[in-house]
Structure 1
């Protein structure tokens, strides 16, 4: 039996079969399991293509609880996570390790971790924590006894290693930037799905406004889906209803992530507003799409490469030293000023 036969029996492409065998992202967990099951039933063994160095090296598992909140099932296609994965894989390779990819079910933590342990292919887990709460992280730590590092969230009261964004600083930098430009009538566009990162960004933003004597009026806060890059009817309806009540449109908006910011720019443009001549917009994350949108997006840069390097180096240190000491690393952000912000009412060529 050949790989083409497996693809035909599974009703998928040969490329999908290759992704299933390699453990790389690109197909859903159900498709991957169906392909592997067909291969087992037919006694098919994929040919080893790894170099001698790769065969001798260990493996790290990148574990994601996908299709929950902001982390979609095809998370590897979302710009922020795509960049993180690229840097993590590069760092693993520099240590002589390969990176395996596993998507898990929120309701089957024990079974998923038992499967990883049973395969005996992974020496440790880098867990994407973006959409995870404290209770689930406690459950993972209790079930998985091996090396573990959680990336992109942090709970200070858990004795687990974390590598996290300084979201409070990022929100503070965004607020300080808008206040520094002279904006006083400021709006806030939040995600309608709440995670720790967004709450921290709001806290930092509010602190900057308070220090500058600016108040965020309750009616100036809106919420939208955080994973849509196109304009959103829900936002246009919220803004239209806001105007119908006699409110003046804010001169600037802070958005909790770049997805929301890009969607907001498109929505505002369709409503007849010019960015930044009429309204300034600031995002958060500095995804690659921030440079493609017109105007280019002013945003808070997240050191995704540095976070990836730190998470891999930390788990390697745990593997090699077998240390019980845990640490939490907070990675600072910085503002990237582009063309989507200006002084209130300023024309910009």
Structure 2
């Protein structure tokens, strides 16, 4: 039975959390972990407390949009709202929703309980339209979401044969720009550091980069193709092992490396620094995404800028226009990229590091 005398402050005390955490749990917004959210909701249920229309469900459903994320995939973590790329993207989506007079509410699907969670979200009917973060989703998963949530925009991936609205980065173009840039500043020995978890975006980036090299008669040798975790901003022992093995086998250090995302690039620079490999004196590093962290590492990271603000605005505008004007067919929008030249890349020095680690003191 509903406890009319209980307030949000009482639930906060019972759950030993802040009132703000209780509000986040009821609204579905990010900012607390899934275990904390579940515990708050369980405490509220056991106390017989029912929030006023989910604390007004932020606003009425007819003026709310849902941001839907599938977590636990290795690419999208449970704390996705703290991952730099997605944090920036969410900020711009929230801002555009506010400008258009909509509230943005959040929900997550656990990849292990995908079908169950989609049905729960569909049954709740908390919003009139949904923006799905599609970065880590398969064609089949997006198809299943669309079947239950037809007013849908999918961000950060694209499957051409689905009759669904997509807004995607031009991954092929961005990686092609990176390859052309490295070649143009004189690099002919180039390595590639890939994500060990494969998604649509990374496959497209690989295609674009390899095309740029192929057009210039170059290729990445099999030995210089490394693979590491894509969500770590610190140095990685696994990358250290791969680089050490590569050099101990008598291979010359590539004069430049392309990394499939900025996480990998930043991690690579930190790992190389621990091995005494200086960037860009010994080797250049270029990333992809232009997250804010690319400006605070030393040296600042040369990267491919993804216009996250434009992607967010296009997603919200396309969805709200469809809702107000009715369906007029689906569209797939590709947002082009821009090369951002900073200090992690330079022309090759001309002195190789064949088969050995440079001394940690380095050479200018």
Provide the C-alpha distance between the structure 1 equivalents of 2:122 and 2:219, rounded to a whole number of angstroms. 52
Moved more, 119-128 or 18-27: 18-27
1:89 aligns with 2:88: no
Provide the C-alpha distance between the structure 2 equivalents of 1:73 and 1:46, rounded to a whole number of angstroms. 25
Q: Deviations over 1:181-212 (max 9, x none)?
A: 10001000000010010010010000110112
Match of residue 24, structure 2, among 19, 23, 33: 19
Within 5 Å, give how 1:281-296 maps onto structure 2.
281-296=285-300
Alpha-carbon shift at residue 49 of structure 1 (Å): 11
Hey, what does 2:63 align to over in structure 1?
Answer: 58
How high is the TM-score relative to the length of structure 1?
Answer: 0.94
Q: Deviations over 1:255-292 (max 9, x none)?
A: 00000000000111111111111100000000000000
1:7 aligns with 2:12: yes
Within 5 Å, give how 1:1-349 maps onto structure 2.
1-46=6-51, 58-144=63-149, 146-345=150-349
Provide the C-alpha distance between the structure 2 equivalents of 1:98 and 1:50, rounded to a whole number of angstroms. 13
How high is the TM-score relative to the length of structure 2?
Answer: 0.90
Q: Deviations over 1:315-345 (max 9, x none)?
A: 1122112215111000000100000000001
Alpha-carbon shift at residue 141 of structure 1 (Å): 1.5
Provide the C-alpha distance between the structure 1 equivalents of 2:42 and 2:104, rounded to a whole number of angstroms. 22
Alpha-carbon shift at residue 164 of structure 1 (Å): 0.3
Alpha-carbon shift at residue 142 of structure 1 (Å): 1.9
- Number of residue-to-residue matches in the alignment: 347
Which ranges in structure 1 are unaligned for 5 or more consecutive residues? none
Alpha-carbon shift at residue 67 of structure 1 (Å): 1.6
Q: Deviations over 1:106-138 (max 9, x none)?
A: 243343233333333200110000000111111
Provide the C-alpha distance between the structure 2 equivalents of 1:238 and 1:286, rounded to a whole number of angstroms. 25
Where do 4+ consecutive residues of structure 1 move more than 4 Å?
45-51, 53-57, 346-349
Structure 1 residues 14 and 54: CA distance shift in structure 2, 3 A: closer
RMSD across aligned positions (CA)? 2.2
Provide the C-alpha distance between the structure 1 equivalents of 2:61 and 2:199, rounded to a whole number of angstroms. 39
